[in-house]
Amino acid sequence: MNHFTSSISAALFGLSTILLPACSNPSFDDIVVGDQRTEKEISRNAFRHPVDTLEFLNVQPDMTVVEIWPGGGWYASILAPYLKDEGQYYAAHFDPESSVKFFRTMRSKFENRMQSHAAFSNVTLSTMAPPEKLDIAPEGSADRVLTFRNVHNWMRNRSEQAVFNAFYKALKPGGIVGVIEHRAPENFTYEQMVKSGYVKESYVIQLAEKAGLELLGRSEINRNPQDTKNYVNGVWTLPPTLRVIDSQRDRMLSIGESDRMTLKFVKPTND
């Protein structure tokens, strides 16, 4: 079964709606504060460091980039306009036929958003529902596969290795996987990782290497030493979820978002 859908047509939009500058070399600095992004999204730039993160992953405007489970579109609202003219953005989203209502709803909202602005006029949707549906992009087509804060989700049904194998399959030789994930202490058990939403850096490296990828580099761009990682409600205690009682809210806001690993892996060119 082919899970790819057609690119969203630019004809849906009038030229008057395009406020981002048209240029052959778009700037992340401009795009991250562009009018295609919500104020709430822009307010999180300070915690998620999108410019530094995407530069570390060496994302270029003429690349084919697959984002895994883009949710509401926080990074999609940066990547899609950046790649619109010269590259290709794939959104490997939830299954629109899922038995889980949340997945169906989020997929529908994302599709609607991708029709809301000319900046999103060159987006291709695919489906990732591990372990059954893993055709995130045509085999060997992607320069980059990127995932932001998702690994812990796949661990709930032990599909994480199948997902990393799918990354490898979609990548071109020499292509890069970028992983940003909540970082657990190295003494956490598997069960603690699943419950808390924090994942050991060594475990992510293990998954990638087992899939055939090689560690290319790591960065502390998204490090947060104030995150103690010992909350009753796990990582969801911190912003932006803030699963806390009112008396704890200010303290969690002062900590900020989670401590995160930022890793990049390469598919060897001799494969």
Q: Residue 261, by phi and psi: left (phi above 0), alpha (psi -120 to 50) or beta?
A: beta
Sign of CA dihedral 229, 232, 234, 240: negative
Domain encompassing residue 113: 26-226+260-266
Which helix (H) or strand (E) element contains residue 104? helix 101-113
User: 60 lies in a domain?
Assistant: yes
At 270 the pLDDT is 83
CA-nearest of 92, 86, 36, 95 to 61 is: 86
Q: Is the dihedral of CA 14, 29, 43, 71 positive or negative?
A: positive
Looking at residue 217, its pLDDT comes to: 98
Quote the pLDDT of residue 30. 97
Cβ partners under 8 Å of residue 237, min gap 6: 231, 243, 244, 248, 252
Output the pTM of the full model: 0.91
Residue 10 lies in a domain: no
Q: 150-204: per-residue pLDDT in tens?
A: 999 999 999 999 999 999 999 999 999 999 999 999 999 999 999 999 999 999 9
pLDDT of residue 24: 55
20 in any annotated domain? no
Residue 83 domain flag: yes
Confidence of residue 147 (pLDDT cuts 50, 70, 90): very high
Contacts of 199 (CB under 8 A, 6+ apart): 151, 152, 155, 181, 182, 183, 184, 193
For residue 117, what are its two tokens? 């602005």
pLDDT of residue 204: 98
Tokens representing 40 are: 């709430």
**Lowest mean per-residue pLDDT among 4-18, 47-61, 117-131:** 4-18
pLDDT value, residue 21:
45
Number of domains in the chain: 1
Average pLDDT, the chain: 92
Q: In Å, what is the CA distance from 176 to each residue of 144, 150, 221, 231?
A: 5, 17, 18, 33
Mean pLDDT of all residues in 97-116? 97
pLDDT digit string, tens, across residues 73-84 = 999 999 999 999
- Residue 31 amino acid letter: I
pLDDT tens-digit series, residues 200-237: 999 999 999 999 999 999 999 999 999 999 999 999 99
Higher pLDDT, 1 or 249: 249
> Is residue 203 in some structural domain?
yes
3-state SS assignment for residue 261: strand
pLDDT tens digits for 32-73?
999 999 999 999 999 999 999 999 999 999 999 999 999 999
Which residue, 108, 54, 64, is CA-closest to 86? 64
- Once rounded to an integer, what is the mean pLDDT over residues 6-17? 35
Is 234 a domain residue?
no
- Give the largest CA-CA distance in the chain: 56
SS3 266: strand
pLDDT digits 0-9 by tens, 17-32:
334 444 457 899 999 9
In this model, does residue 1 exceed pLDDT 60? no
Distance CA 202, CA 187 (A): 11
Segment 86-95 mean pLDDT: 98
DSSP 15: G
Q: Is residue 12 situated within a structural domain? A: no
Q: Give the pLDDT of residue 146.
A: 99
Q: Which CATH number goes with the domain that contains 88?
A: 3.40.50.150
Residue 13 has a pLDDT of 32
Q: How much is the pLDDT for 271?
A: 61
pLDDT value of residue 26: 81
Q: Going by C-beta distance under 8 Å and a sequence separation of 6 or more, which residues neighbour residue 137?
A: 4, 64, 66, 90, 92, 126, 145, 170
Conformational region of residue 69, where left means phi above 0, alpha means psi within -120 to 50, and beta covers everything else: left
Domain contains 254: no
Reduce the DSSP state of residue 195 to 3 states and report it. Answer: helix
